[in-house]
Structure 1
């Protein structure tokens, strides 16, 4: 995988014997072989049409993604492969900690679902509530997810 230092993008479509697999946390019911694409309703915020789709290289960040996703469906974590370039998620990069410690990224290109993690340990109800309360407080202050 090649990282372009000038714009913090990774070219994941370069020829290599193995593809980097990432995680995507959601409440959507997907099947292996499905593609997650921009233009669908976002998992977060105002439920607008997504301009970007998000993925992470850490299971911990994917768990939060599944737990915080909008909707009433079952929390799911999929293994996905990007079909094009990805870039650092500006909502998490260089915010509370320098760099991208959660290894969270976004893309305008589809992600192919290649598997599902079916056994994982989520956060306690209290932790999820505290995180949701914190996000609601940020929203009240006019601080919302960067989608540009």
Structure 2
């Protein structure tokens, strides 16, 4: 089970978000419900429930969908979704507060505050780039972004999804070929705040960052590549961004 922008449910949710940005919430709501109805596993349902919930006008219905998302997250219980638990409990608490249920609101606020999520992902980990590196080399912070030449990075970004690293390599600037390296963090790491609880709930891309050096262990050459059309769409979005999508 791996998050992918080519997944049909993810695509539907992205289309729904586009409708939201265009000021068409009714069409967005239909797309999110379609995603829920067509979801084939708990992870797809978890993602769809997040969007269906926020389009409910009735607080009781919104609570039902948030609680559905929570139960799905608890059943999945992995690093893709556990980082969403504080926000899930917070959303549920707000619903109970609106419904005048102070006890359940307090309980869920406390659950949200009690979770200090630290990733427990054991990898393997990957870094996508166009730089020519060798096993034994170290990636370090204080270097230029792969995507925005005027941005100096304070962290090294990496992922536990080889296809995600391949996607990052495809978007990276430079004339070199796309490279996906197997990497090993030499210090503590945290969820990538640029993607965690942003477009999608939690950290489904299993994306992380560290300020410590990252050792190159090896290289992989086989990953799922986006079509030229899909890749160009993401390049266009990246060109319009202000540095928030970084690696």
TM over 0.5: yes
Q: Deviations over 1:11-64 (max 9, x none)?
A: 88xxxxxx7420100000000000000022221223433211100001121111
Q: CA deviation at 1:125?
A: 1.2
Q: Which TM-score applies when normalising by structure 1?
A: 0.80
- Specify the alignment match of 2:137 in structure 1: 34
Which residue is 1:69 aligned to? 172
Verify: 1:144 aligned to 2:246, yes or no: no
Q: Secondary structure at 2:142's aligned position in 1?
A: coil
Q: Higher relative CO (CA 8 A, sep ≥ 6), structure 1 or 2?
A: 1
- TM score, norm. by length of structure 2: 0.50
1:120 Cα shift?
2.6
Paired residue for 1:88, among 167, 187, 191?
A: 191
The answer (yes or no) to whether the contact 1:11–1:84 under 8 Å persists in 2 is no
Partner SS, residue 79 of structure 1? strand
- For residue 109 of structure 1, the aligned residue among 207, 212, 219 is 212
Cα gap change, 1:34 to 1:11, in 2 (>3 Å): farther
Hey, what does 2:155 align to over in structure 1? 52
Q: Deviations over 1:85-126 (max 9, x none)?
A: 111111111011110000000110111000100223311111
Q: Greater helix percent: which structure?
A: 2
Supply the distance in 2 between the matched residues of 1:20 and 1:123 (Cα, whole angstroms): 23
C-alpha distance in structure 2 between counterparts of 1:90 and 1:129, whole Å: 24
Q: CA deviation at 1:146?
A: 7.0
Partner of 2:222: 119
Helix, strand or coil for the counterpart of 1:78?
strand
Using the TM superposition, give the Cα deviation of residue 144 of structure 1 relative to its aligned residue in structure 2, in angstroms.
Answer: 2.8
Aligned pairs, number: 133
Q: Partner residue of 1:43?
A: 146
| Aligned CA distance change for structure 1 residues 92 and 109 (closer, same or farther; 3 Å) | same
- When the two chains are superposed, the root-mean-square deviation of aligned CA atoms in Å is 2.2
Q: Go from structure 1 to structure 2 and tell me whether the alpha carbon gap of 1:9 and 1:47 turns closer, same or farther (over 3 Å shift).
A: farther
Unpaired segments ≥5 residues, structure 1:
13-18
Give yes or no for contact 1:9–1:85 (8 Å, CA) kept in 2: no
Cα distance in structure 1, aligned partners of 2:223 and 2:193: 26
